[in-house]
Structure 1
């Protein structure tokens, strides 16, 4: 079987919408990384690697990491949503926010940017997703996702100065 590294954009869509396909893609990606090592590549050429057991173990590990990644995203998003609700309630009771106020783009962009930056920070907390190589598909996905949050939040805050 030919193992190759996955396209991260395709992997993100598969992670979000087609989990079984993501898992098979991640196994192929991780095997491609493992086969960069000379000793494993030699065993692969001899037909001794990967074994069915090692592939099942890798798949199980990928499923665990995918579940952990999903848990980190959902928990941190819940915390950000909770923070937004607290901000809105506090703003309402202090009369800083009420229905008769006009829509202020600067205010919305600054709050959105701050929440995205907080989300990118919160998502980094908790159990680590790292393997010893640091090149697994879930790790690449996590870095891209966190970076997208950071860039989006920073862009929102920069746009505040444009208005």
Structure 2
């Protein structure tokens, strides 16, 4: 009961903080600070940074950073399977992978860059991210083994399930907006 009463008193006291006092905490973010967090990449490629990576580079980076969860070749790991599954989406047991389900290769870059590797999200550099994306696309038969990705080539990659989604008009990016 004592803790409940104390909590209630603290909650009530916090309501008495005036707006003037609240303004003393924090400040508007500066443009250079916002830019550090503005790393999202759209399906049309807008937001992709300069840089590049090859399948060969991606293989080594994947082995060092990703294979512990996803297996040595993007399957048979303890986490999501990333390779295979083409042609299974309409079956009783669909296998949703990068190669069978994802509609845009640019969102693969975005996800890897922001959220992977699991143990250190966002720690891969831009070139390393392009390389891992190239390696995964290669393992899925979408990019040749000697393939290379960059800001210009990644949006042009045609994913096998590209037309498997119904676009929402406000997210349908015309071709003229590609970087």
Alignment TM-score, normalising by the size of structure 2: 0.25
Give the structure with the higher percent helix.
1
Please give the TM-score of this superposition, normalised by the length of structure 1: 0.26
